[in-house]
Amino acid sequence: MLINNKSIAIVGGGPGGLTLARLLQLKGADVKVFERDLNKNARIQGAPLDLHDNSGLAAIRKADLLEEFKQNYLVGADRELIMNENAEIFFSDHEDKPEEDFGHQHFRPEIDRGTLRKILLESLQPETVVWDSHFVSMEKQNEGWLLHFKNKTTTYADIVIACDGANSKIRPYITNIKAFYTGITMLEGNILQAKENAPKVNALLKGGKIMVFGNEKNLLMGQKGNGDIGFYASLKTNENWAVNSGLNYSDKVQMLNWFKSTYPEWNSIWFELFENAETPFIPRPIYCIPFDQTWEAQSNVTMIGDAAHVMPPFAGEGVNMAMLDALELSECLTSDQHKTLQEAISTYEIQMRKRAALIAKESLDNGELMHAENALENMLNFFNAPHE
């Protein structure tokens, strides 16, 4: 095996990085995950994730974690409502959605991010994750890399794998190609104990998801397993809006007034979200990789997930692509079919780039449909169309 006697540093402890660590450890690899969080409880995890049969779930099965996943996924959380700005329901699958069916290609079970992270963390060997390790830089040393972290520690690794997200600090060591702004920014909010703090919206959700379309803008929301609600106000605006808006994202009154003025004629039921959200709200400009990105593979560094192919979230593929990257990279690194590590990494990167470009184009197109003047009609046609 090419990685015998090789130390592997995975930088970033999200779903992709932890999945990769699990898959490599199952093959006997020497792996450490360097995560900037202080500990496993340092951050509130975001909205639930839906895993797809041929990507996220395929990686879960290969990691021998399907039973743990089945015991922890959110039954019914994949049920959807599509509404207009007046809170009128135009599509619902709450009554006629098929029963949960693992193995069916269109079944996309949801799981809380924190729960998925816990499952993956507990599957790893003790002390695999090195917490409080905020990557700063690295330099070539011998056949590998010397990594430097913000807490002044250093470590050597024969192979470095970037799993550090859309703003990856390792990506520039691989390519200077940068993602482009899509024209869409999403404003993220979270409501704790939504049954008490946002009862009207909570009653509409019924444990599932809601997509609201009107005036070329969206509200997207979903229920978490603990009863909280995560939501996003999504709109077309300039790239620097978040910095130049003049908004205080910690001021609920100001943010509610912003919503009222930016989403005019929207039903007052949606005010409940902004009145009761935790602060600060988080603006998220949406970026996408160039579809034709390419670079020359190296023998000792590569990347997966958003570090490799950040894309809009409008196809629900982000975490699934990261976990499929982890699966495919682990197989390339542990296969006997490749003569060198550079060949193994090159094989992975070529197929990853091709796959990611197709999904990124789909996500970008979906984003345009969802922010068009006839967005509601577009999405109703999509959900009502028979899917092969």
Q: Do 195 and 259 reside in the same domain of the chain? A: yes
Q: Is 353 annotated as a binding residue?
A: no
Q: What is the radius of gyration, based on Cα positions, of the chain? A: 21
From CA 254, how far away is CA 368, in angstroms rounded?
A: 28
Q: What is the CATH number of the domain that holds 198?
A: 3.30.9.30
Residue 97 has pLDDT above 80, yes or no: no
Q: What single string gives the DSSP state of each residue in 119-173?
A: HHHHHSPTT-EE-S--EEEEEEETTEEEEEETTS-EEEESEEEE---TT-SSGGG
Asked whether residue 75 is assigned to any structural domain, the reply reads no
From CA 104, how far away is CA 50, in angstroms rounded?
A: 14
From CA 373, how far away is CA 254, in angstroms rounded?
A: 27
Asked whether residue 352 is assigned to any structural domain, the reply reads yes
Q: Do 194 and 174 reside in the same domain of the chain? A: no
**Mean of the per-residue pLDDT values of the chain:** 93
CB 33 within 8 A of CB 17: yes
Q: Do 298 and 340 reside in the same domain of the chain? A: yes
Indicate the residue among 259, 288, 317 that finishes a domain: 288
- SS3 for 24-65 is HHHCCCEEEEECCCCCCCCCCCCCCEECCCCCHHHHHHHCCC
> Residue 105: pLDDT band by 50, 70, 90 thresholds?
low
Instruction: Indicate the Cα dihedral angle 185, 76, 316, 12, nearest 10°.
Output: 90
Asked whether residue 338 is assigned to any structural domain, the reply reads yes
Asked whether residue 280 is assigned to any structural domain, the reply reads yes
Residue 386 has pLDDT above 60, yes or no: no
Asked whether residue 296 is assigned to any structural domain, the reply reads yes
Provide the domain count of the chain: 2
Q: Do 242 and 217 reside in the same domain of the chain? A: yes
Most confident of 33-37, 73-77, 377-381: 33-37
Q: Do 322 and 192 reside in the same domain of the chain? A: no
Each residue of 254-264: pLDDT tens digit?
999 999 999 99
> Residue 76: pLDDT band by 50, 70, 90 thresholds?
confident
Indicate the residue among 269, 288, 307 that finishes a domain: 288
By three-state DSSP, how is residue 2 classified? Answer: coil
Each residue of 179-222: pLDDT tens digit?
999 999 999 999 999 999 999 999 999 889 999 999 899 999 99
From CA 303, how far away is CA 167, in angstroms rounded?
A: 12
Q: Do 13 and 150 reside in the same domain of the chain? A: yes
> Residue 104: pLDDT band by 50, 70, 90 thresholds?
low
Q: Do 194 and 279 reside in the same domain of the chain? A: yes
Average pLDDT over residues 150-173: 97
Q: Do 272 and 188 reside in the same domain of the chain? A: yes
Q: What is the CATH number of the domain that holds 38?
A: 3.50.50.60
Predicted local confidence at residue 79, as pLDDT: 87
For residue 348, how many other CB atoms are within 10 A of its CB?
23
From CA 319, how far away is CA 45, in angstroms rounded?
A: 13
Q: Which of 42, 5, 202 is nearest to 121 (CA)?
A: 42
The residue written with tokens 């192919």 in the block is: 309
Each residue of 214-238: pLDDT tens digit?
989 999 999 888 889 999 999 999 9
Asked whether residue 213 is assigned to any structural domain, the reply reads yes
CB 203 within 8 A of CB 211: no
Residue 349 has pLDDT above 80, yes or no: yes
Q: Do 213 and 201 reside in the same domain of the chain? A: yes
Q: Do 337 and 210 reside in the same domain of the chain? A: no
Q: Do 216 and 275 reside in the same domain of the chain? A: yes
Q: In angstroms, what CA-CA distances link 134 with 35, 148, 342?
A: 7, 9, 27
CB 5 within 8 A of CB 143: no
Q: Is 50 annotated as a binding residue?
A: yes
Q: Do 28 and 129 reside in the same domain of the chain? A: yes
Q: Is 355 annotated as a binding residue?
A: no
Angle between helices 318-334 and 15-26 (to 10 degrees): 20
Indicate the residue among 288, 305, 322 that finishes a domain: 288
Q: Domain residues for 208?
A: 180-288
Residue 384 has pLDDT above 70, yes or no: yes
Asked whether residue 92 is assigned to any structural domain, the reply reads no
Asked whether residue 253 is assigned to any structural domain, the reply reads yes
From CA 109, how far away is CA 92, in angstroms rounded?
A: 17
